Structure 1
Amino acid sequence: MTPTFSPILLLSLLLLLLSPLSSPIGIPDASRESQSSAVPNFAKAEAQKLIRGFNLRPKQDINTGPGAAAESPVGGPMLVEKPLRLPVLGDAGNSIQDLGHHAGYYRLPDTKDARMFYFFFESRKNKSSDPVVIWLTGGPGCSSELALFYENGPFHIAKNLSLLWNDFGWDQASNLIYVDQPTGTGFSYSSSENDTRHDETGVSNDLYNFLQGFFKLHPQYAKNDFYITGESYAGHYIPALAARVNQGNKANEGIHINLKGFAMGNGLTDPIIQYKAYPDFALAMKLINQSDYTSIVTELVPSCEQASTICGDDGGDSCANAFQTCNSIFNEILDITGGINYYDIRKQCVGQLCYDFSNMENLLNQQKVRDALGVGDIDFVSCSSTVYEAMLTDWMRNLEIGIPALLEDGIKMLVYAGEYDLICNWLGNFKWVNAMAWSGQKDFVAAPNVSFVVDGAEKGLMKSHGPLTFLKVHDAGHMVPMDQPKAALEMLRRWTQGKLAVTQSKVRIVPL
């Protein structure tokens, strides 16, 4: 889900709040005042398109918890977790009582009233030795339950709202955590606007604090390898959290987290490069013709580059302007293509409906499920338009900048992308990975393209050098674990076991 969309999810699933824009010398400027009101309105509209495109109907724009007028008590334990006993149909080889399924709330420090909700599923195979994997869904502002129930969680939702075992859930190869974040997303809440996050510093600090609380409650997992994963706008969250964990480890802060790697699926990481790649991908996939391409490249791309450069230099409101300016490239392509599903260009959206994830809301609104989760009367905000808007000035920031230092420390990175996604397409991701300056850059660029083979069939093409691997997944859109569940599970298993980059039977000396 970037994870991580314009009329969208990414850009699976993603966006932001900003303060009013002002003239740099304090003199009123009519055009800037017009932009000041237009940009947040544009962001709000984008968030609503994202929500409607998934057939979701959250009752609130942001989760305020038990009530905006009544803050939760500050005292008590930082983390409250309970065993999860939800009936699941079918035979998973274990009874539900034998499996460690948990749900809980973590009271975030350094906040007025924030509570972070999470699911934790112990490995179905070998919980003592399998890695701990955290999954972050994008939006920004979309609940990780989207991935839990529709992509790589232990179970799926049947039409009658029963739970069915997912044979390819990532708990087959890991101890798996799903977190609702940033605050206000899913079941995570705060009664205070001061706890709403606007940048990766706030997001990564909250997640780092949560992990400290999690491993304090579950010290038996602190020695396991730890991996950060996610999708779409999580292309921002993930490298920020990886850097924060690495920083905490080096400074001997709290519990040492055994970080081994991070993986981003169809993510938004380096917006400047990725926005410029839109017309290249659209032309290659025959979504636009040559004249369309020339028009976009000459008329829209230069202004996006200029606005992005200013954003990189100044931050703040200039990044909100860059978001709207650069999004014109994506929206121009959508105007040309009509009702195409920008998460999977093989499909069409019906009106604004691209996917139907409404059963997630229906399930989580059942009283027996809410009782099992321990959430009481707290609303489930599947995707928060307020959180989306609050992250507006974060959208165009380049998160690639902190990755080389992680690679130099030997922390592995996997960038994977379904080949039919438009919003966070494989080409844009491949371009920023290729352009990233690090000690292994030349060797990575020169590395051959290797077939990713599952059950004797090629499921993708990849290239690797040292700690870096890029994988283009065949026959998949934005949500790879949903479209190619078996291949996605095998990707995770091999990657965490250090076997993904091992050369397989076929080497393809062809372009990705």
Structure 2
Amino acid sequence: MAPFFLFLALFAASANLPSFALADASLAMPQQLDLPSHATFPGPQAERLIRAFNLLPKESSSLGGRHPGGLELAHGRLVEKRFSLPGLSSEDPSVDVLGHHAGYYALPHSHAARMFYLFFESRHHKDDPVVIWLTGGPGCSSELAIFYENGPFSVAKNMSLVWNDFGWDKVSNLLYVDQPTGTGFSYTTDKRDIRHDEAGVSNDLYDFLQVFFKEHPEYVNNDFYITGESYAGHYIPALASRIHRGNKACEGIRINLKGFAIGNGLTDPEIQYKAYTDYALDNGLIQKSDYDRINKIYPACQLAIKLCGTSGTTSCLASYVVCNSIFNSIMKIIGQVNYYDIRKQCEGSLCYDFSNMEKFLNEKSVRDALGVGDIEFVSCSTTVYQAMMVDWMRNLEVGIPALLEDGIKLLVYAGEYDLICNWLGNSRWVHNMEWSGRQEFVSSPEVPFLLDGAESGILKTHGPLSFLKVHDAGHMVPMDQPKAALEMLRRWTHGQLVDSPDSSLHGAM
């Protein structure tokens, strides 16, 4: 989903199996894992769940839309405009002074793909870092983060815009991209442009960044950071590796990559899927008898993930179905508990209502301001989601050690009340990662992350690697703890996660 896995609960609807049917069947065939004959994959089921989430567009992906305003973009071309959204206060800060930009980029290695992005210049100083935010899903729009998490403004109940006092544009030049193709306002007229793996996703983003910095040379020397959450736990390491490889090979413009941050992400599924039952038991969501029974599924899940890493598409689809039965089994027990924040109950089938964003982006005045014409906005694309299912169980941790060895920083942070990408699973893969500083990181002390004199989280750090467990937050840390999230970003990009005084945030504004 957008900042989270909007579709993980699909297993219950798509496989249509008893909770533990897969455990017995899969364990009975250790040599090979096959999908049950009656298992199906998300399609109508996904649309039903998205509709309950108040995010269902007219089409399941941005395919076949007209070019905005009839504009034809040549491959590799970027067209951008300054914009000011209706309903936004004209009071300080002035949008005309700040510079808010919307644009389309015609992806060169595609048949007809057009990538939509929004760029917000820093409210503080243009020399601030350039930070790109990638929303997960897979297939959910970055506009969800803009209007509900860390963007410059949010949508009020009366459909007006309210400035966000803790928008990340207060300490960075902030870039949001609707990706992969078919997400948000990004679109194509050719279904061959839909991506299926991280190579396709990261190459498209790399091509975009090359042209973005060509069009904005004043930001080329700024520090560059990659951020995001949820399924972006796949996107972010892949993009970091692609940029690092391009820099080493002297491809095009050198991107000044300094670090990447993953929030409540899915990065190493083999480790993180085991953590589901442990987290649920630790937090009283399931009983010990439930824990023992559900854990019988895990060996089949683990084997399927290993096969996915070596055997390709069929085994990756099998691992998706088998492993998600673990999560599905927990959900059958906990019922209406919000799996993005276990302190809460779900509101509707998918726990949150972001429909005001959808309504706002459907207003003609807003579309005219953004330059998107009649392109259908896709909050969360079922087409993209299904296409990326073969990528789901891939381990993206494997490329991270090489980045750490070259001094590129990694921050993994997680809200403590999220079940779906819980802090326990994230902590485990970070601690398990093999790199030269592993032992020092493992033995390093946990220290409080202080904000306004109070503990807002628990931090562990050594060299370029940091892990932060954020208090009083669920899956979407910037939404639940906006001030702490902004201060986290500011300190991390300034190399001051541990020893920065908590009052320094105000001085940066």
TM-score, normalised via structure 1 length: 0.90
CA–CA separation in structure 1 for the residues paired with 2:324 and 2:188: 31
Amino acid at match of 1:107: A
CA–CA separation in structure 2 for the residues paired with 1:300 and 1:179: 37
1:464 aligns with 2:461: yes
CA–CA separation in structure 2 for the residues paired with 1:66 and 1:42: 25
Of 207, 212, 215, the match for 1:214: 212
Amino acid at match of 2:209: L
1:199 aligns with 2:197: yes
CA–CA separation in structure 2 for the residues paired with 1:364 and 1:91: 20
CA–CA separation in structure 2 for the residues paired with 1:236 and 1:3: 13
Deviation sequence 1:279-309 (CA, Å, 0-9, x none): 0000000000111111112x21111111111
Deviation sequence 1:424-472 (CA, Å, 0-9, x none): 0000000000000000000000011110001111100010000000000
Of 185, 188, 202, the match for 2:186: 188
Deviation sequence 1:20-75 (CA, Å, 0-9, x none): xxxxxxxxxxx95755x73xx3333664465245321211111025359xx97453
CA–CA separation in structure 1 for the residues paired with 2:291 and 2:35: 32
The equivalent residue for 2:104 is 105
CA–CA separation in structure 1 for the residues paired with 2:478 and 2:10: 16
The equivalent residue for 1:20 is none
CA–CA separation in structure 2 for the residues paired with 1:33 and 1:483: 38
Is the Cα–Cα contact under 8 Å of residues 10 and 232 in structure 1 kept in the other structure?
no
The residue correspondences of 1:150-165 to structure 2 (distance < 5 A) are: 150-165=148-163
Of 343, 352, 355, the match for 2:352: 355
The equivalent residue for 1:16 is none
1:481 aligns with 2:445: no
Is the Cα–Cα contact under 8 Å of residues 65 and 379 in structure 1 kept in the other structure?
no
Instruction: Note the C-alpha offset of 1:93.
Output: 3.3
Is the Cα–Cα contact under 8 Å of residues 4 and 475 in structure 2 kept in the other structure?
no
Amino acid at match of 2:125: N
Deviation sequence 1:368-409 (CA, Å, 0-9, x none): 110111111111011100100000100000000000000001
1:331 aligns with 2:320: no
Instruction: Note the C-alpha offset of 1:130.
Output: 0.2
The equivalent residue for 1:61 is 60
CA–CA separation in structure 1 for the residues paired with 2:35 and 2:272: 29
Instruction: Note the C-alpha offset of 1:98.
Output: 1.4
CA–CA separation in structure 2 for the residues paired with 1:93 and 1:6: 36
The equivalent residue for 1:23 is none
Instruction: Note the C-alpha offset of 1:8.
Output: 3.8
CA–CA separation in structure 2 for the residues paired with 1:33 and 1:135: 35
1:445 aligns with 2:442: yes
The equivalent residue for 1:426 is 423
Q: Residue 389 of structure 1: SS of its match in structure 2?
A: helix
Q: Residue 339 of structure 2: SS of its match in structure 1?
A: coil
The equivalent residue for 1:24 is none
Instruction: Note the C-alpha offset of 1:88.
Output: 5.0
The equivalent residue for 2:25 is none
Q: Residue 241 of structure 1: SS of its match in structure 2?
A: helix
Aligned in 2, Cα 1:466/1:9: closer, same or farther, shift over 3 Å?
farther
CA–CA separation in structure 1 for the residues paired with 2:52 and 2:400: 32
CA–CA separation in structure 2 for the residues paired with 1:316 and 1:138: 21
CA–CA separation in structure 2 for the residues paired with 1:435 and 1:491: 24
CA–CA separation in structure 2 for the residues paired with 1:4 and 1:393: 18
The equivalent residue for 1:22 is none
The residue correspondences of 1:138-287 to structure 2 (distance < 5 A) are: 138-287=136-285
1:115 aligns with 2:114: yes
Of 386, 391, 394, the match for 1:394: 391
Instruction: Note the C-alpha offset of 1:96.
Output: 2.1
The equivalent residue for 1:319 is 316
CA–CA separation in structure 1 for the residues paired with 2:275 and 2:76: 48
The equivalent residue for 1:497 is 494
Is the Cα–Cα contact under 8 Å of residues 416 and 472 in structure 1 kept in the other structure?
yes
Deviation sequence 1:108-145 (CA, Å, 0-9, x none): 00110000000000000011x10000000000000000
CA–CA separation in structure 1 for the residues paired with 2:4 and 2:108: 26
Q: Residue 104 of structure 1: SS of its match in structure 2?
A: strand
Aligned in 2, Cα 1:110/1:246: closer, same or farther, shift over 3 Å?
same
Is the Cα–Cα contact under 8 Å of residues 112 and 189 in structure 2 kept in the other structure?
yes
Is the Cα–Cα contact under 8 Å of residues 281 and 427 in structure 1 kept in the other structure?
yes
Is the Cα–Cα contact under 8 Å of residues 274 and 298 in structure 2 kept in the other structure?
yes
Is the Cα–Cα contact under 8 Å of residues 415 and 470 in structure 1 kept in the other structure?
yes
Q: Which segment drifts farther, 221-230 or 287-296? A: 287-296
Amino acid at match of 1:501: V
Q: Residue 202 of structure 1: SS of its match in structure 2?
A: helix
Q: Residue 124 of structure 1: SS of its match in structure 2?
A: coil
Aligned in 2, Cα 1:461/1:45: closer, same or farther, shift over 3 Å?
farther
Is the Cα–Cα contact under 8 Å of residues 2 and 380 in structure 2 kept in the other structure?
no
Aligned in 2, Cα 1:203/1:371: closer, same or farther, shift over 3 Å?
same
Q: Residue 42 of structure 1: SS of its match in structure 2?
A: coil
CA–CA separation in structure 2 for the residues paired with 1:382 and 1:2: 8
Aligned in 2, Cα 1:45/1:498: closer, same or farther, shift over 3 Å?
farther
Amino acid at match of 1:245: I
Is the Cα–Cα contact under 8 Å of residues 234 and 266 in structure 2 kept in the other structure?
yes
Instruction: Note the C-alpha offset of 1:99.
Output: 1.4
1:340 aligns with 2:321: no
Aligned in 2, Cα 1:6/1:151: closer, same or farther, shift over 3 Å?
closer
Q: How many residues align?
A: 480
Is the Cα–Cα contact under 8 Å of residues 100 and 120 in structure 2 kept in the other structure?
yes
CA–CA separation in structure 2 for the residues paired with 1:241 and 1:217: 20
Amino acid at match of 2:221: K
CA–CA separation in structure 1 for the residues paired with 2:9 and 2:363: 26
Is the Cα–Cα contact under 8 Å of residues 5 and 138 in structure 2 kept in the other structure?
no
The equivalent residue for 2:20 is none
CA–CA separation in structure 1 for the residues paired with 2:371 and 2:280: 46
Deviation sequence 1:175-234 (CA, Å, 0-9, x none): 000000000000000010110000000000000000001001000001000000001000
Is the Cα–Cα contact under 8 Å of residues 449 and 498 in structure 2 kept in the other structure?
no
Instruction: Note the C-alpha offset of 1:420.
Output: 0.3
CA–CA separation in structure 2 for the residues paired with 1:5 and 1:210: 25
Amino acid at match of 1:287: L
Aligned in 2, Cα 1:49/1:323: closer, same or farther, shift over 3 Å?
farther
Is the Cα–Cα contact under 8 Å of residues 156 and 166 in structure 1 kept in the other structure?
yes
Is the Cα–Cα contact under 8 Å of residues 118 and 176 in structure 2 kept in the other structure?
yes
Aligned in 2, Cα 1:235/1:45: closer, same or farther, shift over 3 Å?
farther
CA–CA separation in structure 2 for the residues paired with 1:492 and 1:92: 26
Is the Cα–Cα contact under 8 Å of residues 83 and 103 in structure 1 kept in the other structure?
yes
